[in-house]
Amino acid sequence: MPVINLKDLESKNPKIKYGCTKKAIALSEKNPEALYPLWDDFVKLLDSENRILKWSAILVIGNLSQADKKNKISKLLPRLLHFLREKEMITAANSIKALGQIARHQPKFKDKIFQEFLKVEKAKYYNKGKLSPECRNIALGKIMDVLNDFPDELKNRKELVGLIKRQTKNTRPAVKKRAELLLSGI
């Protein structure tokens, strides 16, 4: 069984530190049960001043939701949903991906997650201290990616279909294209 030394996250050497985050993300995707005992360690990283460690922890936790037989995600979900409203689009984008995993592996949270996704249309993200509608467009594109994994869900959810339809007019071509493809499959 592959092992990760979380002490490597404290290394001054960026190759070691960020190599460990890459390993953790990959292992959490392939074998979430192997990392699940380290759940609390990844939760602590959500408070890290180091944004890359925080973003990595968000992704790992989303993947670990598949192995979460103790329902630890229920306490953490409000915090992950709050990340959708932070000023930094990268935090929101990683949270969207993680929340997509949680919706897939813990369907009891799907409705709450999808309701919060709807609010991203009005979210305000900043780039270099300035309001960036383009960052919001990127986050909306990430939502289109997640919703693409739930085609059967979309058929009965007018509010989500409405979100997707509105994104067919998105000024970011990639988001517009994703929305159009998504609608064609409904």
**Multiple choice CATH, 1-70, 1.25.10, 1.10.10, 3.40.50, 2.40.128:** 1.25.10
- Those residues whose C-beta lies under 8 Å from the C-beta of residue 181, and which sit 6 or more positions away, are 148
Query: Which band of pLDDT confidence, cut at 50, 70 and 90, is reported for residue 166?
Result: very high
Q: Is pLDDT of 1 > 70?
A: no
Alpha-carbon span 6 to 9, nearest angstrom: 5
**Can you read off the two tokens belonging to residue 151?**
């085609």
**In 3-state terms, what secondary structure has residue 126?**
strand
DSSP state of 69: T
Please give the distance of CA 147 from its chain centroid, rounded to a whole number: 12
Question: Phi/psi of residue 127, each to 5°?
Answer: -130, 120
Whole-prediction pTM: 0.94
Write the pLDDT tens digit of every residue in 12-63: 999 999 999 999 999 999 999 999 999 999 999 999 999 999 999 999 999 9
Q: Is the predicted pLDDT of residue 2 greater than 60, yes or no?
A: no
What is the SS3 assignment for 40?
Answer: helix
Residue type for position 71: N
Q: Strand 126-127 vs strand 130-131: parallel, antiparallel, or unpaired? A: antiparallel
Residues in the chain: 186
* pLDDT, tens digit (0-9, with 9 covering 90-100), for 97-133: 999 999 999 999 999 999 999 999 999 999 999 999 9
Residues carrying CATH 1.25.10, the chain: 1-70
